[in-house]
Structure 1
């Protein structure tokens, strides 16, 4: 059995949908905080059990019979996420799981100034010490492009801090690639990167957006302190603004510059490009 955690979330839910296209529903289980929100999966034959990273006993029950467990990383900003990941790893081991697949982050390496990187570094170390086969899927940035570009379509400007090349990746492609790994039993050992095929900068994205809409989209580099002040003036807390800035700082230092062909190999096609994603956003 393949058990997926976080199956009512964006990445976990999409992964389950792709799994259902590849393996029988009775081979899939989900571990969710609220079983009621997974009723749509239970109705299709998926085993639904309640479990959260805070409760090891519930996790062991939800992982019962699992050959593989997909551990979707936590993102609670006030929780001890490393400890919670440790709970999940221990519960999977106790339940007899043979392999853990963990959703990590692109460039999860020491020295990356983006704080979640260190959570993933610590979790990968625990996986290595677990005695279980493990794969860490270091997923490239897969959030909506407007989250990092800002309101460019309204302002005609990408006015953000200095950046660097990033292989911005479609979450749907990451979910499909993850499902392929789980369904095919791909024994990819240790950390691997799932990313789009090409890393691009905001300059590249401004050029692409200009071509798509038929008028110039300007790239404006905003000083870090000025950018933080602007975010705070818009209602963001200083803590959140400072946190978000570290992502741009990591990008400009080259931490996210490497693209990897693995995702295209898993999909059997090229992942969606930023041009395709921007075009869809404009059309929408």
Structure 2
């Protein structure tokens, strides 16, 4: 049985949908925090069980009988994040999985300026200790992140953000396709993968230019000092901790942490990756 965690999330849901195109539903299990949110999967014959990374005891039941487990990294912040990822991959090994897969990030590192990368690095280290074959899928930077900024930029004509650098903007659908290929064994992706990215790395100056072309409205990129940007975000209702967390993304980008691209993703999926322009066309269209 193939078991996938986070099956109701942005990436996990896409992975499960593609997996069900490849294997019968009775060979698929999912681990989710709220089984009610996965009712449509239950109706299709998928085994749905509750599992919580922060409560490792729940994972033994969620992963029971799995031959392969794909742990989709959870959106957990703080000290609990590092423990949660390690606990999940360990539980997959303990359940008897003969391969454990994990959605890591191309910038995973203990010295990253963006906190999630420290968590990914710790989980990768734990994978290497498990004593079973593993795959750490080093995903490119999620292009869907642009959705947090495009709407306001089109409305105001200004993309006002901290100083940044190039991002390896990569579409969830492409990453889901790679994950399924690795999960069912189509692709030989063993250990820590090469960066799984689209071929372009663009900064927000370039993004503003694309949004201008697509929307037909001039969008100007404005660089806002870090402290001012955090203060403005908090004044607009963003919790201070979230604003500081997000600022880490820009600091890491300006250091070049997300600037790497690689052809591996396109090789695995056998077609060109979804471009940033295509992602932005969808996002701008949703806000038209």
Contact 2:171 2:274 in 1 (8 A): yes
- The 3 A distance-change label for structure 1 pair 64 and 114 is same
1:133 alignment counterpart: 133
Contact 1:106 1:139 in 2 (8 A): yes
- The 3 A distance-change label for structure 1 pair 34 and 96 is same
Contact 2:26 2:47 in 1 (8 A): yes
2:16 alignment counterpart: 16
Contact 2:147 2:283 in 1 (8 A): no
Contact 2:69 2:92 in 1 (8 A): yes
Matched, 1:123 2:123: yes
State the alpha-carbon separation in 1 of the partners of residues 111 and 90 from structure 2. Answer: 27
Deviation at 1:139, TM superposition (A): 1.6
State the alpha-carbon separation in 1 of the partners of residues 121 and 156 from structure 2. Answer: 38
Moved more, 96-105 or 139-148: 139-148
5 Å-filtered alignment, 1:248-267, equals 248-267=250-269
2:203 alignment counterpart: 201
Moved more, 56-65 or 10-19: 56-65
**TM-score scaled by structure 1?**
0.93
SS at match of 2:96: coil
State the alpha-carbon separation in 2 of the partners of residues 232 and 81 from structure 1. Answer: 24
1:5 alignment counterpart: 5
- The 3 A distance-change label for structure 1 pair 146 and 94 is closer
**Count of residues in correspondence between the two structures:** 284
**TM-score scaled by structure 2?**
0.92
2:161 alignment counterpart: 160
State the alpha-carbon separation in 1 of the partners of residues 259 and 167 from structure 2. Answer: 5
Contact 1:164 1:252 in 2 (8 A): yes
Deviation at 1:50, TM superposition (A): 2.4
1:223 alignment counterpart: 225
2:174 alignment counterpart: 173
Gaps of 5+ in 2: none
Deviation at 1:205, TM superposition (A): 1.2
- The 3 A distance-change label for structure 1 pair 139 and 61 is same
CA displacement 1:1-47 (0-9 Å, x = unmatched):
21101112221111100101111212211122222222211221212
State the alpha-carbon separation in 1 of the partners of residues 255 and 217 from structure 2. Answer: 30
1:238 alignment counterpart: 240
SS at match of 1:100: strand
State the alpha-carbon separation in 1 of the partners of residues 141 and 274 from structure 2. Answer: 13
Matched, 1:103 2:103: yes
